[in-house]
Amino acid sequence: MKNLTIRPLNTGFVTTIPKQYLYHHSTVPYLKGVGDERIEMPVFTFLIEGGDSLLLIDSGMAWSERASKFHHPGSRQPEGHSIVEQLSECGYRCKDIDIVVFTHMHWDHIYYGKIHQGNVYCP
């Protein structure tokens, strides 16, 4: 069996109100100690190294202006956090990725992913 390395890559931060986003609305009346204030949560992708293919789970969130305007106000992608920059920090380029797996089709998981004829491209 091969040893795999799983690297979490932070592609930015989403702001949200926990009671509205992290819990089903039916549970809110029963929640104790969960605040109503907006919090900031990291948005991760995962790079899996050491197998036969270089694998990326999700491709990360959009840049700050788009993220804040179209999803969660206050969301941000600081300089150095785009998937292109995060891969570069690990010594890779987008074209080095063999397989991209999308966990679900939300902007903060697939924004930079584009698959064309078996290749992965990043802007």
Q: Which domain holds residue 79?
A: 5-120
pLDDT string in tens for the chain (123-residue length): 689 999 999 999 988 888 877 788 888 888 888 878 888 989 999 999 999 999 999 888 877 787 778 777 888 889 999 888 999 999 999 889 999 888 877 766 666 655 444 444 454
Tally of domains in the chain: 1
Query: Global pTM?
Result: 0.78
The DSSP bridge partners found for residue 8 are: 46
CATH code, domain carrying 25: 3.60.15.10
